[in-house]
Structure 1
Amino acid sequence: MSSRARFRNRFQLLAAVLVTVVQLPAVLWLCWHTRTPVPALVAVLVSPPYLRQLHAPWATTEPALSTYLALGWWAACAVFDVLMLPAALAVRAGTPFGVAWGLAGAIALVMGVDTVLGRPRLRRRAVRIEGLPPELDGYRIGQLSDVHCGPYASEKRVASWVARLNAQNLDLVTVTGDLITHGSSHVEAVARALGGLRAKNGAFACMGNHDYFTDGEHLVRQLRRNGLNVLRNEGKVIERGGARLYVAGVDDTWTSRDDIDRALAARPEGAPTILLAHDPDLFPEAQAREVELTLSGHTHGGQLGVPGVPRLSLGRFVTVWVAGLYRKGRSWLYVNRGAGTTGPPARLGAPAELTVITLRRA
């Protein structure tokens, strides 16, 4: 069996397990409470048609009616799991009715802010770098990650994120991978939208795993045609007031295209380095090579997590570098929660973001 076929089978198995886990608590409770098999029948009718469409993450499939029905059903089940079921169980255990449903209302408010508004937050961070030239003190870098342009993130929506970053009057703007969801249907759209990025020293991008769930070479050509500097195991020197900054990008780890040594090969001695690496698990390699700042994405901050505890989320099953700013020695890592989503277009406890990072002298 080829590696691609094995990956497809694992993807389908994971999708089936997630669908089952989300539905099971709600279905069992509703069947018991109503004394009928109707909830189970609904689950059986809704899920298989959608699962049959999931040939692989790189397959191009526009959402059918069955997709929207399935997403609606699973969203209702998820709300039930995290809101209605705990409150009902609390009441049965003797918790005062008002306290239980007040807690449920608070959870609903948090869920509403994260999933309904859907507007990425603008986060600002400062990173202090040892040996940073005075000319680069205050240098401002924008980061957009995990765009996932597709059925749930249209070209117009991506363009609105671009406009928000452009309004920050940045020195440099970066896009750290997963520009599309899958397939070829939105390649030109995302290239047009991201082609609108503007910064004093240009716009730079690296590839993510989803960017190879299509013809990756075609995507790169379209991005470059629209003005983006796509860095694939390579870098570029930027000068400002006589000081030099090295901006490098490493290719996708999932398809074993990454080569961090090649990406840093042209780094001038003593020049601070910004490394674009979609996968944050490359951070230890970057730190070993004394890269001052690595910008990553990939995790979506877990996409689903505990509100108020940003690093307690599903991302913990993927990596130790879930979201936010990390430091190891003199090297920094920023893991962006991303602007888009993958799978159901919902977030909990991991709000979407756009980031502006300011470099400061240590």
Structure 2
Amino acid sequence: MSFTLRLILILVILLALEFYFIKKITGSLKFISPDISKKKIKIPVTIGLIIFNLYPFLGIAFWIYARVTQNDSIAAPENWMLDYFIIFPFWIIILTIVQSILFLLPLDLLKGLLYPVYKKYKSKIRKFEMRYIIAVVLFFSIYVPARVVYDFNSVSIRPVEYFKENLPADLEGFKITLISDVQADRFTNGSRLNNYIDMVNETNPDLILVAGDVITGTPKYINTAAKALGKLKAKYGVYSCVGDHDNWAYRYDTPRSLREIKAALNKFDVKMIDNKNKHIKIGNAEIGITFITYTYTTQIDSARLDSLTKNFDDADLKIFLTHQPRPELIEKARKKNYDLMFAGHTHGGQLTFLFPFFNPSVTHIETNYVKGDFRFDNMLMIVTRGLGMSLAPVRYNATPEITVIKLTREK
């Protein structure tokens, strides 16, 4: 599907969501307060529509300008007024709308399925329905912005204990801190980024592994990311695999993007390793790490993957580090008897909606391995939530995470 068709589809969906939401709200208000004037409803609705649609309108105008001038590398202006008065309000409103609809739409579906019952007791059910709609919208109008602010300013440290038989004494209590998707950009820099780095160091790790995506895009934040990651402290070093966004500092020059990011990280003794194995001696023990590049831009070929993962049994602990938790990579790591597999990419869902029994996220379209721990025979895969954001400059029910893995000998 072309970008133009995708854009049209997104606009149609936005309009449909707006129409459904406004219809529900105005209908409920009129039912509960029949004496309320149309003007009192129309004014706030109009203001809300202007705020909500201003961001998509500016985005389309910006896209048309880039097409007309044939300058696809042009970047959106960085301005705090644009962020706080247009971009953030848009995302908070759209999250509130979608989250509310998830609790309103099932009621309409139920009404359709049980229409004879609904028709018979319509007056009584309508009273409950209208109050339910107002209650849902009011609740999420408060919860959504509060949760967005919380997730923007908070970081969770999640401990994981990994048990392994015959673990060498030199690896007993060894701590690996896993982070991912730092994604330095206009929204993740300064105090937010430094706070994350400080919290990583407070875990007192022996080894730090980064599952890729040190920037979001544009070369402007390469040095910001490198300087921040350069402050990380671990006795046995800091290592990263390649992430999707690490290819996109220069959108049409992937080699240059990776070259400049690797060089910047290397100045601060942070190694970004691309499809190679690394052996780390820990006393008389050895940890073997396979760094695999599997991104939207570049995917390792099967022959290279086989070559890197075979004859790697001499290590006392085998780790498979990649950015995306792809099923084919999981299966390869499992078959080759890796102990641990680490990944990021998903941002823990980034925008995860509340719903009974299952919390859906757009990320579920791509993978079921959104966050947390997954067992595959004797291998433990950990998908960490990371710090940064992409597409939407907010997180919702996806608090940033630092994962600390402690090695323990199974008795």
> What TM bracket, shorter-length normalisation?
0.7 to 0.9
Q: Does 1:359 align with 2:407?
A: yes
What is the alpha-carbon distance in structure 2 between the residues aligned to residue 246 and residue 216 of structure 1?
24
Letter in 2 for 1:277: T
Q: Does 1:79 align with 2:112?
A: no
Larger Rg: 2
Secondary structure in structure 1 of the residue aligned to 2:374: strand
Question: Which TM-score applies when normalising by structure 1?
Answer: 0.83
Letter in 2 for 1:353: E
Q: Does 1:148 align with 2:183?
A: yes
Q: Which residue of 1 aligns with 2:261?
A: 219
Q: Which residue of 1 aligns with 2:284?
A: 242
Q: Name which of structure 1's ranges 220-229 and 19-28 shifts more when overlaid on structure 2.
A: 19-28
- Unaligned runs of at least 5 residues, structure 2: 27-40, 109-123, 250-256
Q: Which residue of 1 aligns with 2:383?
A: 335
What is the alpha-carbon distance in structure 2 between the residues aligned to residue 29 and residue 289 of structure 1?
51
Q: Which residue of 2 aligns with 1:114?
A: 147
- Residue 59 of structure 1 and its aligned partner are, at CA, apart by 6.4
Structure 1 pair 289–15 and aligned structure 2 pair: CA distance change class (3 A): farther
What is the alpha-carbon distance in structure 1 between the residues aligned to residue 73 and residue 182 of structure 2?
16
Higher helix share: 2
Q: Which residue of 1 aligns with 2:325?
A: 280
Letter in 2 for 1:355: T
Q: Which residue of 2 aligns with 1:48?
A: 57
- Residue 149 of structure 1 and its aligned partner are, at CA, apart by 1.0
Letter in 1 for 2:325: P
User: 266, 273, 293: which is aligned to 2:340?
Assistant: 293
- Unaligned runs of at least 5 residues, structure 1: 1-5
Q: Which residue of 1 aligns with 2:128?
A: 95
User: 281, 295, 305: which is aligned to 1:253?
Assistant: 295
Structure 1 pair 219–184 and aligned structure 2 pair: CA distance change class (3 A): same
User: 151, 172, 194: which is aligned to 2:207?
Assistant: 172
The superposition leaves residues 215-252 of structure 1 with CA deviations (integer Å, 9 ceiling, x where unpaired) of 12111111111110211111222222311111231123
Instruction: Please say if residues 95 and 144 of structure 2, whose CA atoms lie closer than 8 Å, have aligned partners that are also in contact.
Output: no
- Residue 182 of structure 1 and its aligned partner are, at CA, apart by 0.9
What is the alpha-carbon distance in structure 1 between the residues aligned to residue 146 and residue 91 of structure 2?
19
What is the alpha-carbon distance in structure 2 between the residues aligned to residue 343 and residue 217 of structure 1?
24
- Identity, % of aligned positions: 23
Letter in 2 for 1:244: E
Q: Name which of structure 1's ranges 287-296 and 46-55 shifts more when overlaid on structure 2.
A: 46-55
Instruction: Please say if residues 52 and 93 of structure 2, whose CA atoms lie closer than 8 Å, have aligned partners that are also in contact.
Output: no
What is the alpha-carbon distance in structure 2 between the residues aligned to residue 74 and residue 20 of structure 1?
17
Instruction: Please say if residues 16 and 51 of structure 1, whose CA atoms lie closer than 8 Å, have aligned partners that are also in contact.
Output: no
Question: Which TM-score applies when normalising by structure 2?
Answer: 0.74
- Residue 81 of structure 1 and its aligned partner are, at CA, apart by 3.4
Alignment coverage as a number of residue pairs: 354
- Residue 260 of structure 1 and its aligned partner are, at CA, apart by 3.2
Secondary structure in structure 2 of the residue aligned to 1:174: strand
Q: Does 1:196 align with 2:231?
A: yes
Q: Name which of structure 1's ranges 316-325 and 68-77 shifts more when overlaid on structure 2.
A: 68-77
Structure 1 pair 22–351 and aligned structure 2 pair: CA distance change class (3 A): farther
What is the alpha-carbon distance in structure 1 between the residues aligned to residue 305 and residue 73 of structure 2?
25
Secondary structure in structure 2 of the residue aligned to 1:325: strand
Q: Name which of structure 1's ranges 257-266 and 121-130 shifts more when overlaid on structure 2.
A: 257-266
- Residue 261 of structure 1 and its aligned partner are, at CA, apart by 3.8
What is the alpha-carbon distance in structure 1 between the residues aligned to residue 72 and residue 172 of structure 2?
42
What is the alpha-carbon distance in structure 2 between the residues aligned to residue 351 and residue 116 of structure 1?
10
User: 306, 321, 328: which is aligned to 2:369?
Assistant: 321
